[in-house]
Chain A
Amino acid sequence: MGLNYQAVGWNPQKKVYDRILVLGVLLYLIVFIVGGFIFFPTATIETLLIRAFGTAAMVLLHIILMIGPLCRLDTRFLPLLYNRRHMGVTMFLTALIHAFLVTMQYHAIGDANPIVSIFTANTAVDSLGGFPFQPLGFFALIILFLMAATSHDFWLRNLTPPVWKILHMGVYLAYLLLVGHVVLGVLQAETSPIPAVAMAVGIVLVVGLHIAAGYRDKVRVKERAHGTDYIDVCGVFEIPEKRARIVSMSGERVAIFKYDGKISAISNVCRHQNGPLGEGKIIDGCVTCPWHGFQYRPEDGRAPAPFEDKVPTFRVKLRGDRVMLHPIPNPPGTPVEPAVIGVDGGRR
């Protein structure tokens, strides 16, 4: 094991994932286009394609945004998160086709450069009803492009995780822009209330799931006072074998693992994409991240060779069957002697 844990290359799970992803997109497009001609025989293929790809991208974006909180609410959804990167890239490509077709249809073969025309054809920025919605789509597309282009782990490494993380939080900005693109765009020209209702349902699902997941997290992970001395964080029995308990001290999260009669504590934040290590499991002696399976040794927070990722470790000791945690993190990769259950005063 270990060697393929970097989540590079295609593996059987990813192949299944990608097949279902492509199937889903095709299903959406075919239903839209075939349905379009059945219900509206005089519709034009250009408009149906533009709308099929635009709405398909928007539906995919909603699914992408819902997977995160769903996994926090129920870890059985984690397989959906494993290869979310491909879903993101697929969504970008789908949106790109929409944008390309729209630009060809509405801006090309005219008296201005088509890209310039996206910005100059409507300049009523002072009016809500008349607001130019197309530049909103353009900016969202740029963000989605940057995210798709840097989605590979290569870029994660080269941009460093904090920069990468900020860039990928851009998905929320893109979502906001796209809600504007739809609300100030197509919804202004529709006669049926259904498209507006559909948009509202989408927003409520995305926002609602994020709030629910955040709330659940707050309830589960209690905030502790931050001091400079060992603090009592939990009982040994509260931690399942080969699993962890997450505690939070002034916002910093620590994962306290129990395995083979020992207790170790490392940072809860995975170096890969900030996955919650405390929701992972010890496999082959290593803490395994629940998101994409990066591994770290609990004793020193280091990935097994040949990998070099490391996370901060924390000192732990036992007082009776209580786990005592020192709140000051050690530099990433610092070895810490695990507390041994039964020897340090705790019972097994």
Chain B
Amino acid sequence: MKPHEDKEFYVGYTEKAPPGIAKYVRLHVILMLLAVAATSLVLVMSQRPPDPGVFEFGTYRNFEGWIVEEPFPMLRMERPGRAYQSPTHSLYTLVVFGKFSANNAVKGLNGKKVRLKGSMIYRDDQIMLEVSDDPIEVLEDPGFPKDDLFGRDLGKITLAGEIVDSKCFLGVMKPGNLKVHKACAVRCISGGIPPALVVKDKEGNARYFILVSPEGRAMNKEVLDMVAEPVRVTGKAVGYDNLTLLYTDPRDIVITR
């Protein structure tokens, strides 16, 4: 036994600890508090930096455009100064509060011109609206401008990337991808949020391919097992305005982990 152990004996329910023990504990508690603060600082600083997307949570604006119901709800809007730009329109994907698509909100409105209230979610060239609970207002119906919603066939391609739920990845959650976020991505895609294949080039710039079935229908439950994993996907890419859809058979999605 060390000598100090004989001299002093600590009993917790006494008024005061013996002076030698008290001094020793005080010093070590101060050191521990410093270590705790340092650990906190090191852990917070070493996190993967948050993703750059933006979610204008709580801020609603009015948007006017044409509803596209299939393969998933979108709002097609004219871009200002359309004559000089390509594409001339933008497609905003539509979702509602929580982990759900806007299927119910836009039911029966395909091709109609509407005014709706929504919060913007955006990252790179991708824009999404979280549609508010307010009723969607149908405007005088000029018909759907089908004439210029042409798909641009980009051919059959094979891409390596990660399948994310477009809502979280574009800005609702940070992190909005990889394993920490996987369960949430599964819930969102299962709830109808369009799954997007994110492909990064060497500079880290992202390109987005929204996955649909070979017949061009929404594809959600089919991809759940492949979400948030490194995957290689083969499909036919078709561009619509600012969006690119990848027509893919789920069997052509391979986890490469």
> Bound state CA distance, A249 and B48, in angstroms?
54
B46 to chain A, nearest CB (A): 4
Cβ of A117 under 8 Å from chain B: yes
A62 to chain B, nearest CB (A): 9
Chain A 2-21 interface mask (CB, 8 Å, partner B; 1/0): 00110100011110000010
Cβ of B16 under 8 Å from chain A: yes
Are B44 and A32 in touch, CB under 8 angstroms? yes
Are A28 and B179 in touch, CB under 8 angstroms? no
A36 to chain B, nearest CB (A): 5
Are B12 and A194 in touch, CB under 8 angstroms? no
If the complex has contacts A12-B16, A78-B10, are A107 and B29 also in contact, measured as CB distance less than 8 A?
no
Query: CB-nearest residue of chain A relative to B24?
Result: A76
Cβ of B83 under 8 Å from chain A: no
> Bound state CA distance, A138 and B120, in angstroms?
34
What are the residues of chain A within 8 A of B40 when measuring CB–CB? 27-29, 31-32, 35, 52, 55-56, 59
What are the residues of chain B within 8 A of A27 when measuring CB–CB? 33, 36-37, 40
Contact for A79 among B21, B184, B229, CB less than 8 A: B21
Query: CB-nearest residue of chain A relative to B183?
Result: A121
Are B257 and A127 in touch, CB under 8 angstroms? yes
What are the residues of chain A within 8 A of B48 when measuring CB–CB? 189-192
In the complex, which of the residues B37, B100, B225 has the most CB atoms of chain A within 10 Å of its own CB atom? B37
Contact for A44 among B16, B17, B28, B50, CB less than 8 A: B50
Are A47 and B37 in touch, CB under 8 angstroms? no
> Bound state CA distance, A186 and B46, in angstroms?
12
> Bound state CA distance, A288 and B12, in angstroms?
11
The number of chain B residues touching the other chain, given as a range, is 35 or more
Are A75 and B12 in touch, CB under 8 angstroms? no
Question: Which residues of chain B from 12 to 51 have a CB within 8 Å of any chain A CB?
Answer: 12-17, 20-22, 24-25, 28-29, 32-33, 36-37, 39-50
Stretch at the interface among A108-116, A161-169, A310-318: A108-116
Are A35 and B12 in touch, CB under 8 angstroms? no
B162 to chain A, nearest CB (A): 11
By Cβ-Cβ distance, the 3 closest A-B pairs, closest first, are A109-B98, A121-B183, A194-B46
* 25 CB-based A-B contacts, threshold 8 Å: A28-B36, A36-B44, A44-B173, A44-B174, A59-B39, A76-B10, A79-B10, A79-B25, A80-B25, A80-B28, A82-B12, A107-B187, A110-B99, A111-B187, A112-B190, A117-B187, A122-B183, A124-B225, A134-B183, A195-B43, A243-B6, A280-B9, A283-B11, A290-B10, A293-B12
Chain A interface (Cβ within 8 Å of chain B)?
4-5, 7, 11-14, 20, 23-24, 27-29, 31-32, 35-36, 39-40, 42-44, 46-48, 51-52, 55-56, 59, 63, 74-80, 82-83, 105-112, 117-118, 121-124, 127, 129-130, 133-134, 185-186, 188-192, 194-195, 198, 240, 243, 280-281, 283, 288, 290, 292-293
